[in-house]
């Protein structure tokens, strides 16, 4: 079972680990700044996040020691388990802010939609790899992956958590486009999407979700309620100017004008305190992480690894992009953490699992295919 | 490509070259997508932080910094000798932070008890403050007495959220001292606030509403200080940032003489009317009193409806600032004008003598002299001294109303004196043209007779009569009455100083004026003079009595004065200047329904003069009452 090769260690992806650590340290510094003024109950959040991070690194060690191709065999049990967790969240879950997203585990509230994202990537990668003919998928062949995506998507919409649900759609679209599609299939799917959006708007979205989108389109129309997040976040980011207000000196964050400043709006605090220069540094680091991930895709030893790596990169990219665009007022406010940066154990674990898989693929690039 | 059947987990093919190429192409496309989306983010960052950065910085500051207003101490008002007339003292106010009270109702109940107020009063104030942000303390009571303050301080732990706040408030030398003149402060109304373009004021600010306080609001108010504090999103203070101390208002030194003003007010106690004293050669206002006085402190926290109604209903009209807003027929004080005009126009000479038989017929009417037995043959000197009506009827008749009016107007009558106070009345100097225009009737020659002795259409304010007297005394220069001696800013630097303003010159010859002045000296000092009660030991006073008819009621003819209802009694005038040979000060007194100028008004003027000359005249020898120096009985007490 443990076919351990010396080359594995030689090929350990120090660059990827280093990049993740740089982003993680920025996140921790920022978390400290965002929360140190708040009254402390129990363990300070930054300390908790450090524990999560260390735990996540151990998880990476565990993941890289198993050949990623095993995932293909474990694919459906893992998929089933994550669906069960989502169901559990719906029935046993803790309600926070009107939505049932968390399963309380005593020391930690698990948000099952986070691991479900990674499971989704593994499931789709496995499916596409197995069914790949090299000729491109037909509409009928897409029926199964659509169903596989729809199940967690609907469960998460039920919580309701629009942002996370949308990520499933983004992963599906990205990965499906990455493997080959027939042009006809692509055309049909595009038409379908264009027609479903208005229907979804009318029947599918909850009033608060609609309001968020409306607010996004005109935030000044409702400055005290729904538009508040966007306005305050833009003020925080904008007032950072070129060099920022200085670490621990951001006013928007420390005086509570910024809501959710340690989770979804963490980057606002960063941009306020470190300015344009600091923000560019952050975005550049993130960009490097994504480029490196793409490198993992192309250097993968087999097609499964390539699709899997691409899925993970697209997951991290879409989450980061949507979060940053939201914080900068380019997209409506949805619940979406910035991977590796926002506070939150579930998201961090899920992302580090993804990073672990990337390392796994990278390390085994020279191994002979089975 | 041949379709490979693959079984899960058993066999995985290596990527073949064609597939690899395809994947690489797709990775490139995906990378391109990532690059373009990240470029959008970077462009957005540039737009927010660099392009709009200043704007957002400003908004962040507005979020964070709140300026608390520190009220500036209002400027102090002193009299010409530096006596403080209006100063400031701390007022202790009860304020309440509702959010700091766990049980707001309980706190209000307890407070109502301590303040001896009905709880509904407090509830009204809480409702009134409903629109202000929750971090702003609500003001529940102003200027609480010392005992309540001590009690509250000792029981502060039982009253969470209740605080004492100190703000400067006005302190008056005396609640009624020069009250019309000084004026009161009041809260700026919402409407006044909305009509203002600048942001000097905000709701609840006290501003001068009347009198000097209103006219010199801009100098007295000072500049508000600001206490900049950092606040969190709920508006609660986090830390002190910067304090900008308030700039106290400029101090105002008035030309008013507090001692004389007080003397005038005391002399008018129980009476209604006005006292004015002007410096003859400058126009400085030394006394400006209106009786009855108003109580300035009544307005301090906004006057109650009940008090306001009582003031409105008071028959003595305390709300009118009588020296400049009260309009009265000038009565015989107008003979100054008639005499001067007659001499200047040459219709009489000092030697011209006229026979007074107690009345004169004109047209088909008889015009009586106040002395029904008649004065016999009188010349100008005696006519003035004894205020013979028949003499002046004749002079008026010879002059005609329009010629007379020209002189009256050159004395400033019928027009605003221009004193810097609100609602001054112009009065009226009638002319033929005026009557045609205003009444659509032609002038009756008989009316000229009434006008010549200051009755009929003639209407003047005490301030005008005083200005007229001063102009006569100084040889014909009409100075504008002014009351500000100096304005000094908070550092004591002089901002402005009194400078006399000449508004005109009296028409006619200086010699005529000298002759009139001789007559006025006789009024006070000769045996039959009507103004003998103004006589002052050591100072030669010159003056003129007057009686203004309120109604011409034949009904009361011959009725003893005491039996005429108060409101139908004549107004009493006395106007004078002193010293007669080298005039310095002019004093005018009007006592409403005082009946006779000589008896009701002259003693008041004398009181004022006495205080003016206090340092210069030797104290009355042997404690002799001053009245003893006056003739045993003023023969003609009026006109």
B278-291 tens-digit pLDDT: 999 999 999 999 99
**What pLDDT does B618 receive?**
59
Pair B181, B159 in one domain: no
Residue B37 lies in a domain: no
Residue B584 has a pLDDT of: 96
Higher pLDDT, A183 or A264: A264
Q: Does B59 touch chain A (CB under 8 A)?
A: yes
Residue bearing the bigger pLDDT, B359 or A226: B359
- pLDDT given at position B635: 40
To the nearest whole angstrom, how far is the Cα of B120 from the nearest Cα of chain A?
A: 33
Question: Do residue B368 and residue B485 come from a single domain?
Answer: yes
Strands B251-254 and B77-78: parallel
Is residue B118, in this structure, part of any structural domain at all? yes
CB B461 within 8 A of CB B590: no
Q: Do B1 and A133 touch (CB under 8 A)?
A: yes
CATH number for the domain that contains residue B156: 3.90.1310.10
The pLDDT, as a whole number, for residue B16 is 61
Q: The tokens 């979406």 sit on which residue?
A: A336
| pLDDT of res. A331 | 86
Q: Which residue of A has its CA nearest to B3?
A: A133
pLDDT at A239 exceeding the cut of 70: yes
The DSSP code sequence of B213-235 is HHHTHHHHS-B-EEEEEEE-TT-
Please name the member of B23, B45, B63 whose beta carbon is closest to the beta carbon of A328.
B45
Q: Which of A235, A276, A324 comes nearest B63 by C-beta?
A: A235
* Shortest Cα–Cα distance, A104 to chain B (Å): 31
Cβ within 8 Å of residue B503, ≥6 positions away: B412, B417, B418, B478, B479, B480
Put simply, the chain A residues between 281 and 320 with a CB less than 8 A from any chain B CB are 283, 286-287, 290-291, 294, 297-298, 300-304, 306, 310, 313-314, 317
pLDDT (tens digit, 9 = 90+) per residue, A39-78?
666 788 899 999 999 999 999 999 998 999 999 988 899 9
Torsion (CA) B256, B262, B266, B269 in degrees, nearest 10: 60
How many independent structural domains does chain B possess? Answer: 3
Is the separation of the CB atoms in B576 and B541 below 8 Å? yes
Residue B571's domain is classified under what CATH number?
3.40.710.10
Cα A356 from chain centre: 14
pLDDT at position B303: 79
Tell me whether A256 touches chain B (CB under 8 Å): yes
pLDDT tens-digit series, residues A298-327: 988 888 999 999 999 999 999 999 999 999
Instruction: Say if the Cβ atoms of B9 and A271 lie within 8 Å.
Output: no
- Over chain B, what is the mean pLDDT? 86
In a shared domain, residues B250 and B397: no
User: Could you say which of B172, B196, B220 is where a domain stops?
Assistant: B172
Token pair of B218 as six digits: 């801009």
C-alpha B209: how far from its chain's center?
Answer: 8
Whether B280 maps to a domain, the answer reads yes
Same domain, B167 and B181: no
B13 interaction partners in chain A (CB closer than 8 Å):
302-303, 369
What residues of chain B, 428 to 447, have a C-beta less than 8 Å from chain A? none
- Residue B49 is assigned to a structural domain of this protein: no
| A369 close to B (CB below 8 A) | yes
Q: How far is A369 from chain B (nearest CA, A)?
A: 6
pLDDT digits 0-9 by tens, B126-164? 887 777 766 677 888 888 888 889 988 888 888 888 888
Q: How high is the pLDDT of residue A23?
A: 97
Say yes or no: B506 and B625 in one domain.
yes
Which structural domain range is residue B77 located in?
A: 64-83+173-254
Read off the pLDDT of each residue in B367-391 and give the average, rounded to a whole number.
90
- If asked whether residues B181 and B131 sit together in one domain, one would say no
Give CA–CA dist B229/B243, Å, rounded.
Answer: 9
Q: In whole angstroms, give the CA distance from residue B566 to residue B564.
A: 6
Give me the residue from A238, A252, A302 closest to B48, CB to CB: A238
Q: Which residue has the higher pLDDT, B240 or B32?
A: B32
Residues B96 and B154 in one domain: yes
Q: Which residue of B has its CA nearest to A274?
A: B49
Residue A218: what pLDDT?
A: 62
Residues B607-630 pLDDT 10s? 999 999 987 875 544 444 444 343
The span from the CA of B508 to the CA of B312, in Å, is 44
- Is B636 inside a domain boundary? no
Catalytic residues of B: 332
Q: Which of the residue ranges A89-93, A97-101, B470-474 has the most confident prediction, judged by mean pLDDT?
A: B470-474
Q: What is the reported pLDDT for A251?
A: 84
Instruction: Report the alpha-carbon distance of residue B182 to residue B162 in Å, rounded.
Output: 35
Q: Which residues of A200-229 are buried (b: 16+ CB within 10 A; e: fewer)?
A: eeeeebeeebebbbebbeebeeeeeebbbb
Neighbours of B197 (CB within 10 A): 5
Confirm if B63 and A353 have CB atoms less than 8 A apart.
no
* ipTM field: 0.92
Check residue A224 and give its pLDDT. Answer: 53
Q: Are B454 and B330 in contact (CB under 8 A)?
A: yes
Q: So what's the pLDDT on residue B117? A: 84
Percent of chain A with pLDDT strictly greater than 90: 48
Tell whether B22 is covered by a domain.
no
Chain B neighbors of A290, CB-CB under 8 A: 34
What is the average pLDDT across A20-28? 96
Give the whole-angstrom CA distance, residue A136 versus residue A198: 29
Which residues does residue B576 pair with via DSSP β-bridges, in sequence order?
B543, B587
- Considering only the beta carbons, identify the residue of A134, A256, A291 that sits closest to B19: A134
The answer to whether residue B6 neighbours chain A at the CB level (below 8 Å) is yes
Domain end among B203, B238, B254: B254
Q: Are residues B521 and B504 in the same domain?
A: yes
Chain A residues near residue B57 by CB distance under 8 angstroms: 238-239, 241
* Residue A224 contacts B, CB cutoff 8 Å: no
Q: Which residues, at least 6 apart from B387, have a Cβ–Cβ distance to it below 8 Å?
A: B332, B335, B370, B523, B530, B544, B545, B636, B638, B639
B56 within some domain: no
Residue B23 in domain: no
- Contacts of residue B18 in chain A, CB cutoff 8 Å? 134
Question: B133, B154, B172 — which closes off a domain?
Answer: B172
CB contact under 8 A, A256 and B238: no
Distance from CA of B39 to the nearest CA of A (A): 10
Per-residue pLDDT tens digits for B169-210? 888 988 899 999 999 988 777 777 776 656 677 766 788 989
Across chain A, what does the average pLDDT equal? 86
Q: Could you give the CA distance from residue B222 to residue B69 in angstroms, rounded to a whole number?
A: 13
B185 and B236, same domain (yes or no)? yes
Across the interface, whether the CB atoms of B231 and A257 are under 8 A apart is answered: no
Q: Is B470 within 8 Å of B280 (Cβ atoms)?
A: yes
Q: Is it the case that residue B11 has pLDDT exceeding 50? A: no
User: Tens digits of per-residue pLDDT, A76-85?
Assistant: 999 999 999 9
Most confidently predicted of A362-366, B144-148, B417-421: B417-421
In this structure, of A199-213, A254-268, B403-417, B610-624, the range with the lowest mean pLDDT score is: B610-624
Sorted by sequence, the CB contacts under 8 Å of residue A187 that are 6+ apart come out as none
The residue-averaged pLDDT of A352-358 equals: 96
Is the confidence at residue A279, as pLDDT, over 60?
yes
Same domain, B103 and B210: no
- A176 near B CB under 8 A: no
For the segment B249-272, what is each residue's pLDDT rounded down to a tens digit?
999 999 999 999 999 999 999 999
**pLDDT at position A222:** 57
pLDDT beyond 60 at B554: no
| Distance to chain A for B231, nearest Cα, Å | 7
Whole-number pLDDT of residue B530: 87
- Tell me, yes or no, whether B76 and B100 share the same domain: no
Give the residue-averaged pLDDT of B604-608. Answer: 95
Q: Mark whether B435 and B475 lie in a shared domain.
A: yes
């Amino acid at each position: 079972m443990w076919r351990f090769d010396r080359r594995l260690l030689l090929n350990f992806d120090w660059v990827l680990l280093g990049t993740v650590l740089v982003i993680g340290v920025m996140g921790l510094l920022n978390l400290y700044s965002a929360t140190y003024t708040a009254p402390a109950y129990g363990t300070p959040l930054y300390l908790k996040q450090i524990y999560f991070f260390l735990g996540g690194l151990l998880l990476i060690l565990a993941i890289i020691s198993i050949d990623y191709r095993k995932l293909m065999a474990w694919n459906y049990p893992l998929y089933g388990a994550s669906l069960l967790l989502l169901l559990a969240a719906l029935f046993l879950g803790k309600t926070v802010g009107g939505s049932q997203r968390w399963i309380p585990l005593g020391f930690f509230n698990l948000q099952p939609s986070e691991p479900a994202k990674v499971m989704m990537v593994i499931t789709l990668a496995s499916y596409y790899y197995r069914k790949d003919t090299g000729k491109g998928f037909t509409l009928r062949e897409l029926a199964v992956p659509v169903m596989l995506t729809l199940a967690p998507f609907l469960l998460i919409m039920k919580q309701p958590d629009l942002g996370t649900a949308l990520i499933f759609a983004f992963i599906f679209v990205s990965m499906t486009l990455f493997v080959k599609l027939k042009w006809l299939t692509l055309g049909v799917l595009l038409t379908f999407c264009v027609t479903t959006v208005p229907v979804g708007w009318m029947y599918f979205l909850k009033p608060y979700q609609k309001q968020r989108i409306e607010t996004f389109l005109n935030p000044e129309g409702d400055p005290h309620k729904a538009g508040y997040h966007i306005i305050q976040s833009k003020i925080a980011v904008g007032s950072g100017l070129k060099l920022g207000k200085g670490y621990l000196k951001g006013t928007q964050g420390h005086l509570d004008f910024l809501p959710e400043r340690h989770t979804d709006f963490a980057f606002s605090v960063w941009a306020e305190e470190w300015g344009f220069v600091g923000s560019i540094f952050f975005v550049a680091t993130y960009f490097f992480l994504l480029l490196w991930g793409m490198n993992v895709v192309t250097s993968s030893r087999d097609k499964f690894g390539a699709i899997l790596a691409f899925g993970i990169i697209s997951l991290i990219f879409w989450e980061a992009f949507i979060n940053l665009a939201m914080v900068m007022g380019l997209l409506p406010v949805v619940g979406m953490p910035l991977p590796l940066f926002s506070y939150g154990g579930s998201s961090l674990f899920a992302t580090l699992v993804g990073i672990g898989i990337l390392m796994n693929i990278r390390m085994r690039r020279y191994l002979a295919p089975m | 490509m041949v379709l490979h059947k693959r079984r899960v987990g058993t066999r995985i093919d290596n990527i073949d070259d064609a597939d690899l190429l395809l994947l690489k192409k797709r990775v490139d496309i995906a990378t391109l997508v990532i690059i373009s989306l990240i470029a959008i983010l970077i462009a957005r960052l540039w737009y927010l932080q660099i392009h709009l950065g200043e704007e957002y910085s400003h908004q962040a500051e507005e979020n964070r910094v709140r300026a608390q207003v520190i009220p500036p101490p209002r400027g102090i008002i002193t009299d010409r000798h530096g006596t403080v007339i209006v100063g400031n003292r701390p007022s202790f106010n009860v304020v309440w932070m509702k959010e700091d009270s766990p049980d707001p109702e309980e706190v209000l109940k307890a407070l109502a008890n301590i303040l001896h107020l009905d709880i509904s009063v407090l509830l009204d104030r809480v409702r009134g403050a409903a629109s202000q942000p929750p971090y702003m303390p609500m003001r529940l009571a102003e200027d609480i007495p010392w005992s309540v303050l001590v009690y509250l301080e000792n029981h502060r732990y039982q009253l969470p959220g209740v605080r004492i706040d100190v703000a400067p408030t006005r302190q008056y030398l005396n609640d009624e001292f020069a009250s019309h003149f000084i004026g009161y402060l009041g809260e700026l109304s919402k409407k006044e606030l909305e009509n203002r373009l600048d942001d000097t004021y905000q709701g609840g600010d006290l501003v001068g509403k009347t009198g000097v306080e209103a006219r010199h609001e801009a100098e007295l108010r000072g500049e508000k200080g600001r206490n900049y504090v950092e606040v969190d999103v709920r508006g609660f203070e986090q830390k002190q940032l910067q304090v900008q101390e308030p700039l106290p208002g400029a101090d105002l030194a008035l030309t008013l003489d507090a001692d004389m003003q007080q003397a005038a007010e005391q002399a008018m106690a129980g009476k209604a009317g006005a006292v004015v004293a002007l410096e003859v050669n400058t126009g400085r206002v030394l006394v400006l009193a209106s009786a009855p006085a108003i109580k300035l402190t009544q307005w301090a926290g906004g006057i109650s409806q009940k008090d306001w109604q009582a003031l409105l209903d008071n028959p003595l009209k305390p709300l009118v600032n009588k020296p400049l807003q009260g309009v009265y027929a000038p009565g015989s004080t107008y003979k100054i004008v008639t005499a001067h005009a007659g001499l200047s126009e040459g219709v009489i000479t000092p030697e011209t003598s006229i026979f007074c038989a107690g009345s004169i017929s004109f047209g088909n009417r008889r015009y009586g002299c106040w002395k029904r037995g008649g004065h016999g043959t009188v010349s100008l000197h005696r006519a003035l001294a004894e205020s013979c009506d028949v003499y002046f009827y004749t002079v008026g008749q010879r002059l005609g109303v329009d010629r007379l009016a020209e002189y009256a107007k050159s004395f400033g009558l019928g027009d605003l004196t221009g004193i810097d106070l609100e609602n001054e009345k112009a009065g009226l100097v009638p002319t033929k043209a005026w009557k045609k225009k205003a009444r659509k009737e032609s002038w009756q020659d008989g009316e000229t007779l009434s006008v010549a002795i200051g009755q009929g259409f003639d209407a003047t304010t005490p301030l005008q009569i005083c200005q007229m007297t001063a102009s006569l005394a100084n040889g014909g220069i009409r100075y504008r009455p002014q009351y500000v001696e100096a304005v000094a800013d908070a550092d004591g630097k002089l901002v402005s100083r009194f400078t006399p303003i000449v508004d005109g010159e009296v028409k006619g010859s200086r010699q005529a004026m000298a002759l009139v002045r001789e007559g006025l000296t006789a009024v006070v000092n000769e045996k039959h003079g009507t103004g003998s009660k103004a006589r002052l030991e050591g100072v030669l006073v010159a003056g003129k009595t007057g009686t203004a008819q309120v109604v011409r009621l034949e009904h009361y003819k011959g009725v003893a004065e005491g039996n005429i209802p108060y409101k139908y009694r004549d107004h009493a005038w006395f106007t004078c200047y002193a010293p007669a040979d080298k005039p310095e000060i002019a004093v005018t007194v009007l006592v409403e329904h005082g009946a006779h100028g000589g008896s009701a008004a002259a003693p008041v003027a004398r009181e004022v003069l006495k205080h003016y000359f206090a340092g210069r005249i030797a104290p009355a020898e042997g404690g002799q009452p001053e009245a003893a120096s006056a003739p045993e009985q003023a023969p003609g007490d009026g006109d």
